[in-house]
Chain A
């Protein structure tokens, strides 16, 4: 070991004395990377590799990806994207309004604490219990269903309305239960980050409250708003347990296709399953990537 490593690590770190010191530090992080490699990176690499292989011969091919244009699969992507878009936009919009209401809307301050605490819990509330809870509420025998029918004469499942919890719409309603809180949790600190001085400066320069929101506050919040909605999109796109519990796989979703593929080789083409999985990873990666980029901008602005 030469002096060079010491100079390298100079920025903000203890000077690394040559020899044992340096390698001990690496020893601290190697287990982490090794573990990640073993149980995340490499397995996904197996999927990646497999997606480019012909399932029978093992020869390299992109046929699997071409096969993604199969109507079932396209439909699944379409539905997944649609549900994710809807819950992202609705979740984003109403989640923002909720956050705004408790922070700047003139409500008693305790409401904000309650909403924040509840959101911390509710954003974690997904999968089987959530699906069950909504079955108890809006399912065929659900409490709300019965209430509406008995007291207001509204038959949700009847021919006139034809509602069903076990459809796209039902799933969207259920997904919102963890989308709203996620939006609230991320928007609240951003709204908080709107410096008082900006509002005062804008007033001082002659702007009305509406103009302040139009020209200053909303533009400043936009990266966070957009970024979080994209995060919500990814969140919904990757959800599986909730959908499965609710619909037993009857709605075409990418995650359900994949889980069907895992439990029984429904495609009879393992390569296609891999391609499907990688397609999903790409969508998620793009979503998270855009979110990260927007988050950096908003942080820069809100920190200024």
Chain B
């Protein structure tokens, strides 16, 4: 049985529907991310799990118990806020021990537990400091320790790293995941940063405008996006407009140039579709026999560290293809304005209709 379950949860604010038909079954110890842009409802859903908002419809169950209408201070879930929300009038130790103090645990038990947690989050000698004396990253670790101190059933994190510098963010997220694994605690992590979500989670829920767009492992979400939104939100993506030539054999044209998709797809001849193509699938040059080829002019070459990103414009006002090449010393870079051919395999792209999601992910995986 799943440990944390949201069944058909909906949240309305007056006329606006903030969250619609949210369904999730998370196992014990699982790390689930809610990923999406601002306003997509991910934080509202998290707050409903925490008890700060009440669902208009649906139920929330933790470890078999229906907590939908339970007061937030009785739910035994630990929450880490985006702004840390450390109590400024208390030391780090008092902050961490607050949950235990409220539960009337004996003083020495609290002291021991606080010391334990300070070790876990790697701040062993900061117990007597005050929050304002710590850096952002340190404060966030204290917030994490505080949420874990009373051994909650579920850990909730609301964009905990968004206020921090990039380098600290990367280091801290690994720490968070390591601690989570070590403790085996069921975790929900809200973020708008897809890199965070993909690198940390067992599963990702991609949300947009209150709806769940897709639920799946990071691998599934990235490689088999079920809707155009997911495809474009996660990772860099080429979304090229295509015109259907012959759907059953996978023929279509992009900017007038013929292209064949390995799998057949649905569509009437002459209809418009979107072709989703990852930059790493596209290569410079004509590629092996049987590859799809497109010709265009180089409009930009940019260095992204280990990768060189080349933009090729298909036609005057045509769409741009973005392709990534590994940055090697032997790489011969094209000039701006040079006409080049780029290629991608026939089974590379996904054909999407932005309005309706394509076949289910399971079918896609089965066919891959």
Contact = CB atoms under 8 A, between A and B. Distances in A.
A302 B73 CA distance: 23
Q: Which of A198, A201, A222 has the most CB of B within 10 A?
A: A201
Contacts of B147: 204-205
Interface residues of A, number: 22
B87 A206 contact: no
Contacts of B73: 202-208
A300 B72 CA distance: 28
Nearest to B146: A205
Interface in A258-304: 300-302, 304
A205 B105 CA distance: 13
Interface in A192-222: 195, 197-198, 200-208, 211, 215-216, 219-220, 222
Given A216-B87, A216-B89, A304-B131, A204 B77 contact: yes
Given A206-B99, A211-B102, A200 B87 contact: no
A300 B87 contact: no
A195 B102 contact: no
B87 A198 contact: yes
B98 to A, nearest CB: 5
B102 A201 contact: no
Nearest to A199: B85
A99 B79 CA distance: 30
Which secondary structure characterizes the binding site on chain A?
helix
A220 to B, nearest CB: 5
Contacts of B76: 206
Interface in B49-95: 50-52, 71-79, 81, 83, 85-90
Given A197-B81, A197-B83, A304-B132, A205 B88 contact: no
Contacts of A200: 50, 52, 72, 79, 81, 85
A211 B102 CA distance: 8
Contacts of A301: 88-89, 132
Contacts of B77: 204
Contacts of A219: 89-90
A200 B131 CA distance: 18
Q: Which of A206, A208, A302 has the most CB of B within 10 A?
A: A206
Contacts of B83: 195, 197
B87 A201 contact: yes
Nearest to A205: B99
A195 B85 contact: yes
B132 A201 contact: no
Contacts of A222: 89
A214 to B, nearest CB: 10
Contacts of A304: 86, 88, 131-132
B150 interface: yes
A215 B89 CA distance: 9
B95 to A, nearest CB: 9
B25 to A, nearest CB: 23
B128 to A, nearest CB: 17
A205 B143 CA distance: 11
Nearest to B50: A204
Nearest to A221: B89
Contact of A300 (B71, B103, B132): B132
A303 to B, nearest CB: 9
Given A197-B83, A204-B77, A300 B88 contact: yes
B84 to A, nearest CB: 8
Contacts of A300: 88, 132
Contacts of A215: 87, 90, 98, 101-102
B102 A206 contact: yes
Nearest to B97: A205
A300 B86 CA distance: 13
Interface of A: 195, 197-198, 200-208, 211, 215-216, 219-220, 222, 300-302, 304
28 contacts: A195-B85, A197-B85, A198-B85, A200-B52, A200-B72, A201-B85, A201-B86, A202-B87, A202-B98, A203-B51, A203-B52, A204-B77, A204-B78, A204-B147, A205-B98, A206-B74, A206-B99, A206-B103, A206-B150, A215-B98, A216-B87, A216-B89, A219-B90, A220-B88, A220-B89, A222-B89, A301-B89, A301-B132
